[in-house]
Every structure is written in C-alpha cells, then in structure tokens.
Amino acid sequence: MATEKLYYRDPYLHTFSAQVVAVKPGWLALDRTAFYPEGGGQPADQGWLQDKRVTDVQLDEEGVIWHQVDLELETGAMVEGRLDWLRRFDHMQQHTAQHVLSQVFWQLFSAETVGFHLGEQVVTIDLAVTERDLNETALAQAEALANAKLRGKLLVRSYEVSAEMLDPNLLRKLPKVETDIRLVEIGDFDLCPCGGTHVCDLGEVGLLKVLGCEKKRGNLRVSFVAGQRAYRDYHNKHEQLLTLSQMLSEPIVGVVDAVARLQTRLKELEREEKHLRQQLLIKEAKELLASAQDLGGSNIIAQELLNSTLDEVKFLASYLAEQGPNLVLFGVPGDPYRLVAAANSQLRLAVGPLLQQVVSQHGGRGGGTPTSAQGAVPAAVGAIALEQLVTACRQVLN
C-alpha cells in the first residue's frame, strides 16, 4: 500500500511516529512518513529513525517510500522519525526560489525552464535559450525581480487536482503525471505542477543570488543560491574581501583598483628583471669572449657552464656568435647533459650536423640549423661528447 505522505499535509512537520510495514536489508518502509523521497530535482531528506541515521529515501513504483537506515525492526514495530530539519528547510528555500526565478525568466524573456537540480552547494536551472538571448544585464534584471518577489508576502499553497479540473493555460509548464497532479501556487504570480516541498510564505526565502551561467547541451544553465545559502555565500565572500582589503591596506571599495595597480607594477618589474638579466649575461659574454682561443682569424669559445639555465646558455651562445667570427660550444652538466652550439655565418662551418653526429654516437638527440643547434646526451658521457665536438670543429676550421 502506498505510504501516506506527511510532508504534503504539513511541509514543516519534522517529527512523527509511524509503523513499519515492510523491510528489506538496509531499508524500512513505514505506513506514513515526513521524509521526502528524492524526486523532481529535489534531493531525498535525511534524519533519524529512532537514533539511527536515515541516509537516503526513495519512492518505488507502488508508491511505497523506503528509508535507508541501519535499523533492524520487524513489520508492525513503531518508530519515531526526526528530519534533519535545517537541511530540509534549506531545500524548501531553494526549491521555492527556483519556482520564482523560473517564473521571472518566463515573464521577462519567455525563457522556459527545462531542467532543475538542487545541488549540495548551488542550485541550477536550465533555460531553453542561448547566451545571446540572455546577457548579463538580463540576468541582473531577473535577479532583481526575483528578489523583489522574495521580500514580499506572497503565500505558497500546494494541492492536488484531477486532470479534468486542470486548465493548462494557467500553468507555467505541463504536468508529467496524469493522476494525483500536485500544483504549487505562489499567490497570483506562479502556478506550476510540482511534487516538491515548499515554504508557506515567500518572505521565508528572503534572498536570492544568481552566481553565473554557462552553455549546457543547447540550453543556458543558470546557477544560484537562495535563503540561508545566499546569506552564507554573502558572509563568506565578505570575509574573503575583508582579508584582501587588510592584505592590501585598502578599503573594500578600493580592492579592485589596488590589484590592478599591483598587476601593472608586476609587469613593469618583470620587464626590468628581464632587462637586467640580459645585461648580466652580456657582461658574462664579454668575459667568455676574453677567454676565447684564437684559431687564425676565428675564435673558439668552448666550455662547460655550471650555473646557468638552458635559456641563458642559448642566449649567450647566439649573442657571442653574432659578435664576430666566433664559434661557441657549450656543455651544460645535468641529466641529460646538454650541448649548445652556435657559429658565426662568416666561418662557413656547419656546426649543426657536427653536433648531430656526436650526440647520435652516444644515443642522444639533437636538432637546430647548420649555424645553431642543441642536443642532449646521457650525463656520464657529457664531457666526452663536448670534447669530441670541439675536436671535430677544430679539424674543419683548420
């Protein structure tokens, strides 16, 4: 026999007694219950039967409501039930706010709600429109009208009607069921078939904040929070802003400008740092050039660079190669060991293929152009490979 749904008679009922009418492992069915079973976008209630936690509630095809609970009882036993009321009241606030927001989008933009999900953190509705139909201004307008309604005193009523009594023209959407159709009426503002639980007065929701929107399967998904969730969201964001304002020693209204100034300053500093680094590298390049070996009209600069990054080594090599008839051969110890070579074009030395030859002898890899190349070999043979490259280049230059 179908379970008597106490949550329809009184959505504020949060303690009740009932009789066990059926059992299966981990689940109990009662003759009546205040626990709302998952459905219509609203999650299942949680709470307690006796002192055991009810973790899930589901409605089966026969209309029996099952409570998932670790409580072994026989059919016929009496139980005391208690809802996790704060959680349920939160669901009532979110769900009623959803009806208001959906009606607002319908009234303002003919945007039909085709999906609803009441999540742990945020609530979403899917609107049958695209981003182009609803811009930020439209969303703000909808949020403002929804809030004006939620501060008002409109009464929310829910009741059952038969299909014959129903005038589809009065409804925001058509019912999905053909019998036991339940309508939720918000004053003369909204009328919609819905099996969820709702507050009695819109003022009990009080506040709604749209958090954003995104494209979702051809629809526009709008996320929001309402009631206590919206207040908590405001509280948390205010705390974050307050911390930022203290970190920046700026009043909250000045935080955005202060961060923009910091970003500009950071970019300036990054440019300055890059410039200074190059100056240092050019100084280092001049020192390296002083230690170059003269090879009858050309200079060879060959050595290991221990304290430079690969990018710095590449910069040094190409800078030195541009300064005159220079051949530059650097080794960068590490695993793998890197070889960086560059040759001034006047030398007519194809250092790239020579480097390629040496690294492939050691099972390494390399690449580049004839006058500028890099490669890598295993750490253990790095110094030998550099030496071989130097010898190979000298033979060609001689």
Q: Which of 320, 324, 335, 325 shows the shortest CA–CA distance to 376?
A: 335
**What is the rounded CA–CA span in Å between residue 223 and residue 210?**
6
Closest approach of Zn ion to the CB of residue 187, in Å = 16
Of 49-57, 156-164, 194-202, 314-322, the segment contacting Zn ion by CB under 5 A is 194-202
Closest among 196, 225, 197 to 211, alpha carbons compared: 225
Among 47, 196, 366, 382, interactor with Zn ion by CB under 5 A:
196
What's the closest the beta carbon of residue 72 comes to Zn ion, in angstroms? Answer: 35
Instruction: With beta carbons less than 8 A apart as the criterion, state whether 22 and 177 touch.
Output: no
Whole-Å CA distances, 253 to 89, 138, 241, 250:
34, 25, 10, 8
| Nearer residue to Zn ion within complex by CB, 42 or 372 | 42
Closest by alpha carbon to 50, among 28, 24, 21, 31?
28
Cβ pair 251, 245 in contact under 8 A = yes
Report the nearest approach of Zn ion to the CB of residue 150 (Å).
16
- Cβ-Cβ contacts under 8 Å for 183 (sequence gap 6 or more): 158, 159, 160, 161, 171, 191, 192, 193, 194
Of the pair 83, 191, the CB lying nearest Zn ion is at 191
Q: For Zn ion, which is the closer residue by CB, 191 or 302?
A: 191
At its nearest, how many Å lie between Zn ion and the CB of residue 198?
A: 8
Q: Does 193 bind Zn ion (CB under 5 A)?
A: no
Q: Which stretch binds Zn ion (CB under 5 A): 44-52, 64-72, 166-174, 188-196?
A: 188-196
Q: CB 176 → Zn ion: shortest distance, Å?
A: 11
Of 315, 308, 321, 320, which is closest to residue 278 (Cα–Cα)?
315
- Least Å from the CB of residue 97 to Zn ion: 10
Return the closest-CA partner of residue 118 out of 232, 3, 27, 227.
Answer: 227
Choices 132-140, 196-204, 239-247, 268-276 (CB under 5 A): range interacting with Zn ion: 196-204
Quote the tokens at residue 247: 């970190």
Closest CB to Zn ion among residues 99, 338: 99
93/279 Cα distance (integer angstroms): 64
Q: Interface with Zn ion includes 11 (CB under 5 A)? A: no
Nearer residue to Zn ion within complex by CB, 30 or 101 = 101
Binding-site size for Zn ion (CB under 5 A) equals 2
User: Minimal CB distance to Zn ion: which residue?
Assistant: 194
Work out how close the CB of 10 gets to Zn ion at its nearest, in angstroms, rounded to a whole number. Answer: 18
Burial group, residue 208, by CB count within 10 angstroms (0-12, 13-18, 19+): buried
Smallest separation, CB 14 to Zn ion (Å) = 20
Q: Is 194 in the site for Zn ion (CB under 5 A)?
A: yes
When the beta carbons of 37 and 196 are compared against Zn ion, the nearer one is 196
Instruction: Annotate 316-339 with DSSP letters as a single string.
Output: HHHHHHHTSSEEEEEEE-SSSEEE
Residue with smaller CB distance to Zn ion, 185 or 233: 185
Residues that bind Zn ion (CB under 5 A): 194, 196
